[in-house]
């Protein structure tokens, strides 16, 4: 196996910290959270107390001013353990960075320290019933009413939506301008007209609260505009490389965990008088899967280095997202097969990983959209 060089000693020490937190505060409860459809709110404040939230935010806003490799470690450890109910990644490395990058000083002071403590849970509302990967097709509107906007519309598939205290809402402030008329609004729990719908029942990621959100003439103060009016689509595009790389990072970690579980299982499981691992078809299949995961991990680590250097472009991140999420699904499916009938039993982690993995090819932009982005980057565009 190729030695990974992207992490330093402190990152590996932090990995131990994350593992201890997950073993103590998450492992005993995650199965129960899958049954109830959401994690207990207390895990957010416990994560905040342990310094696991908003790591990359400056210390003046309650963060640790840590480089993004610490967040990479968190993505990997949560994926390795299969604790997909935790919405920390989106909170830490999507919502908080938007506020840091585009928010006013007052917004950063108001929201980021509370997010770092786990007192405020963050979400971002892009997808709508009729607009998923095509963000230009959103229909939610925010009408300028002087000192506030009047927000109307609905969102769906919103991660952390049910727990959320703060939601970055993507809305059209100038519907006639297409993508150039999009803005980002900070909508808070309790604003009149802001309602949360039912928690959605999903095939996988059952402990991750995912919900519908509804906005009926919500008065959003102008002070809650994130960045400049009609610049929202540009902001979204600027953050895409990191958001898509996060999916690739988690995908490879989950695929490696599946291989590790399957190695252990096949060494113990016996068939026809010998272990399943002793069959050539098993050994060759696992050798193939490990090779593919190793190749992908080298690419993802290189993408991570480019991110830290400020050189990761959207097309390369799209390659990582598409390739790694496809590979994750392939690897886990093959590992289910090697588990036989037990691979289809929910109490086995491989079964839950199989159900959890499928959405990776959809969210963050479908893999078909990723291929379109890549095609355009090499000079191929639809006519």
How far is residue 281's CA from residue 299's CA, in Å, rounded to a whole number?
A: 28
Rounded CA-CA distance 25/31 in Å is: 12
Q: What is the pLDDT of residue 132?
A: 66
- 76 Cβ contact partners less than 8 Å away, ≥ 6 residues apart: 15, 249, 250, 253
Confidence at residue 142, expressed as pLDDT on a 0 to 100 scale: 97
- pLDDT per residue as tens digits for the range 78-127: 999 999 999 999 999 999 999 999 999 999 999 999 999 999 999 999 99
- List, by residue number, the catalytic residues: 243
- Whole-prediction pTM: 0.94
pLDDT for residue 133: 67
Query: Which residues have CB under 8 Å from 185's CB, separation 6+?
Result: 142, 149, 151, 168, 169, 171, 220, 224, 225, 226
To 5 degrees, how large is the angle CA 143–CA 209–CA 200?
80
- Count CA within 13 A, CB hemisphere, residue 100: 23
CB atoms within 10 A of CB 376: 14
Instruction: Give the pair of three-digit tokens for residue 32.
Output: 């129960």
pLDDT in tens, 337-356: 999 999 999 999 999 999 99
Mean pLDDT of the chain: 95
Residues present in the chain in total:
383
For the stretch 290-339, pLDDT in tens is: 999 999 999 999 999 999 999 999 999 999 999 999 999 999 999 999 99
Residue 327 tokens read as 């590979």
Q: Are strands 166-172 and 122-125 parallel, antiparallel or unpaired?
A: parallel
Nearest to 330 by CA among 285, 267, 372: 285
**Alpha-carbon distances, residue 317 vs 166, 323, 334 (angstroms):** 27, 10, 26
Instruction: Give strand pairing partners of 210.
Output: 159
Residue tagged 């895409």 (tokens): 240
Half-sphere exposure (Cβ direction) of 166: Cα atoms closer than 13 Å: 27
Structure tokens at 62: 């309650």
| Backbone φ and ψ of 172, nearest 5° | -85, 120
Under 8 Å between Cβ of 196 and 213: yes
Euclidean distance between CA atoms 306 and 125, whole angstroms: 28
């Amino acid at each position: 196996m190729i030695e990974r060089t992207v992490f330093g000693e402190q990152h590996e020490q932090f990995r131990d910290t994350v593992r201890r937190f997950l073993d103590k505060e998450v492992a005993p409860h995650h199965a129960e959270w899958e049954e109830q459809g959401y994690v207990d709110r207390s895990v957010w404040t416990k994560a905040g107390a342990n310094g696991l939230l908003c790591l990359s935010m400056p210390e003046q806003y309650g963060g640790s001013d840590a480089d993004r490799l610490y967040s990479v470690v968190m993505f990997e450890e949560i994926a390795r353990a299969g604790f997909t109910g935790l919405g920390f990644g989106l909170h830490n490395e999507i919502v908080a960075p938007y506020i840091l990058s585009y928010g006013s000083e007052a917004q950063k002071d108001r929201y980021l320290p509370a997010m770092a403590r786990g007192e405020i849970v963050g979400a971002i509302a892009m997808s709508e019933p009729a607009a998923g990967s095509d963000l230009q097709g959103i229909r939610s509107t925010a009408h300028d009413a002087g000192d506030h906007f009047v927000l109307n519309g609905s969102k769906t598939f919103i991660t952390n939506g049910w727990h959320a205290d703060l939601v970055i809402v993507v809305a059209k402030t100038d519907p006639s301008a297409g993508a150039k008329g999009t803005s980002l609004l900070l909508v808070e729990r309790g604003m009149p007209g802001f309602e949360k719908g039912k928690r959605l029942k999903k095939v996988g990621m059952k402990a991750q609260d995912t919900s519908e959100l509804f906005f009926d003439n919500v008065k959003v103060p102008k002070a809650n505009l994130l960045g400049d009016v009609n610049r929202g689509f540009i902001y979204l595009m600027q953050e895409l490389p990191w958001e898509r790389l996060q999916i690739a990072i988690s995908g490879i970690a989950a695929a490696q965990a599946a291989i590790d579980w399957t190695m252990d299982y096949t060494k113990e499981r016996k068939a026809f008088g010998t272990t399943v691992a002793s069959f050539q078809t098993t050994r060759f299949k696992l050798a193939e899967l490990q090779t593919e995961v190793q190749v992908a991990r080298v690419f993802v680590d290189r993408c991570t280095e480019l991110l830290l250097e400020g050189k990761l472009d959207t097309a390369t991140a799209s390659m990582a997202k598409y390739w790694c999420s496809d590979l994750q699904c392939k690897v886990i499916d093959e590992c289910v097969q090697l588990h036989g009938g037990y691979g289809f039993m929910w109490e086995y982690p491989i079964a839950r990983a199989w159900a959890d993995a499928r959405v990776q090819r959809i969210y963050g932009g479908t893999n078909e959209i990723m291929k379109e982005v890549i095609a355009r980057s090499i000079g191929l565009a639809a006519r």
